[in-house]
Structure 1
Amino acid sequence: MIGFYDYTVILTYISFASSISGIFLATRGHFNWAIFCLAFSGLCDMFDGKIARTKKNRTEDEKRFGIQIDSLCDVVCFGVFPIVLCYELGMTHFYSIPILIFYGLAGVIRLGYFNVMEEKRQNETSENRKYYQGLPITSMSVALPLLFVFAPLCRGYFLIWLHLLVLAVGVLFITDFRFRKPTNKELAVLVAVVGVAVLRGLLIWKGGRTI
């Protein structure tokens, strides 16, 4: 079989499977489980790079494959999946569709640029990345669950905040600024925050179509 098969890409594939499942759940109106799948995909992505770097004897082809497969899966997990989820949540108006298209396109542009620059960086140094250029596309796996956490405070304006969130995140994908890569402690906090969001969804929303 073509491809590279080892433990370094397992979390990436699990993240992909979770997002595909989330897409199916979102189209059936099970938003609580869909947001769980989005958050779970994000958690997998937070640690897949750390796991990949534990294999010290990776060939150059394996490294390049890892970069490509990670970004290709990210397009689905944090590009297509959030678009479907937000559409099912109510972003169906004539002004909503351009925002969703822009979000998806900005994500693809960001990932394409990241692939080029990351391969160049790895050819120049073996040091771990300390900063990102622009907001990582995986940020939506934290931002959207957090919006759900504060949904009761929106008082009927959830869809407005949802539109603003998608637009803002899309803009930040392609904005040229330095975003510091989270430390292990900060990742632990993110995991806890997303976990609370997911738990709230599973216990309260009960799969309904309204927020």
Structure 2
Amino acid sequence: MTATNEESQARQPTIISFVKDLPNVCSLAGLACTLLAIYFSIIGVFYAAMIGMIWAVAFDWADGLVARKMKGRTGSDRIFGGQLDLLIDIVSYGVTPAIVLLSFSDFNPVMLPAAFVVVAASAIRLSYFSTFGLSDESKYTGLALDNNSIALVFVFLSESVLPAGVFAFVLCTCALGLAVLNVSQIKTPKLSGNPRNVCFLAGYTLIITALYLWKLL
């Protein structure tokens, strides 16, 4: 090994060192909420799953807000944080809604194609964004994935007033419709970058949490 290689490795940060970066802490907190959402979906406590899903969005928005406010972050911090965010997004906004669909149908294999479409659309959407970023108008191409959870936790409020079969159809249709919008060519604004939208999401998260906690009682 040459001296240059040894110096390069000595300067390379450890993997775990990125965990102390506050935006990454927010991202991992969102991942924890996603894990809870998956767990509660599998055991059939869907109201608790909805709380986990909306808090995952809140922490996802928080990591970007914190990252923009912080000073002194290195290029490696930003690159690592961006990659971590993308990987967590596929779990939060692709895998989790798919598990909700499967679990609500008692894991009926008939629902597998719909679940696959949801996950595949999320993967394609994130890969496209990772390659091309925002459009020239500083907008997303395709509906951003965080909107999926924001919409689905609202739709799920009707679960208690609709027959189970009807609601399963509504939930599946909404999830597939969002998946189509995710990979469409529509231009949508970057909602998480606007302080007013952040305040709206904070209020929405608290209201949704209160409603589902009330339903759990």
Pair in the same fold by TM > 0.5? yes
Q: TM-score, structure 2 length as denominator?
A: 0.82
Note the residue ranges of structure 1 that are not aligned, 5 or more in a row: 122-128, 207-211
- Superposed displacement of residue 94, structure 1: 4.6
1:22-101 matched pairs, under 5 angstroms: 22-90=37-105, 92-101=107-116
- Secondary structure of 1:29's counterpart equals coil
Greater share of helix: 2
Aligned partner of 2:127 in structure 1 is: 112
For residues 39 and 216 of structure 2, the distance between their equivalents in structure 1, rounded to whole angstroms, comes to 18
- Superposed displacement of residue 58, structure 1: 2.4
Q: 2:147 aligns with which of 139, 157, 164?
A: 139
1:91–1:130 CA distance, 2 compared to 1 (3 A): farther
Contact 1:32 1:198 in 2 (8 A): no
The amino acid that maps onto 1:2 is I
For residues 26 and 95 of structure 1, the distance between their equivalents in structure 2, rounded to whole angstroms, comes to 18
For residues 157 and 206 of structure 2, the distance between their equivalents in structure 1, rounded to whole angstroms, comes to 11
Aligned partner of 2:30 in structure 1 is: 15
1:199-210 matched pairs, under 5 angstroms: 199-206=210-217
- Secondary structure of 1:53's counterpart equals helix
- Superposed displacement of residue 205, structure 1: 4.1
Note the residue ranges of structure 2 that are not aligned, 5 or more in a row: 1-13
- Superposed displacement of residue 198, structure 1: 2.6
- Bigger relative contact order, structure 1 or 2, given CA contacts below 8 A and separation 6+? 1
- Secondary structure of 2:149's counterpart equals helix
Percent identity reads: 24
Aligned partner of 1:150 in structure 2 is: 158
Q: 1:198 aligns with which of 192, 197, 209?
A: 209
- Tell me the matched-pair count: 198
- Secondary structure of 2:140's counterpart equals strand
For residues 41 and 97 of structure 1, the distance between their equivalents in structure 2, rounded to whole angstroms, comes to 24
- Superposed displacement of residue 130, structure 1: 4.1
For residues 143 and 10 of structure 1, the distance between their equivalents in structure 2, rounded to whole angstroms, comes to 25
Aligned partner of 2:170 in structure 1 is: 161
Deviation string, structure 1 residues 3-47 (Cα, Å, up to 9, x no partner): 523112111010011111221222122212111111110111122
The amino acid that maps onto 1:101 is F
The amino acid that maps onto 1:204 is K
The amino acid that maps onto 1:71 is L
Contact 2:54 2:150 in 1 (8 A): yes
1:78–1:94 CA distance, 2 compared to 1 (3 A): same
1:54–1:190 CA distance, 2 compared to 1 (3 A): closer
CA RMSD, aligned part only? 2.2
For residues 205 and 86 of structure 1, the distance between their equivalents in structure 2, rounded to whole angstroms, comes to 20
Contact 1:19 1:77 in 2 (8 A): yes
Aligned partner of 2:7 in structure 1 is: none
- Secondary structure of 2:69's counterpart equals coil
- Superposed displacement of residue 186, structure 1: 2.8
Q: TM-score, structure 1 length as denominator?
A: 0.84
> Does residue 179 of the first structure (1) align with residue 188 of the second (2)?
yes
1:199–1:112 CA distance, 2 compared to 1 (3 A): same
- Superposed displacement of residue 112, structure 1: 1.3
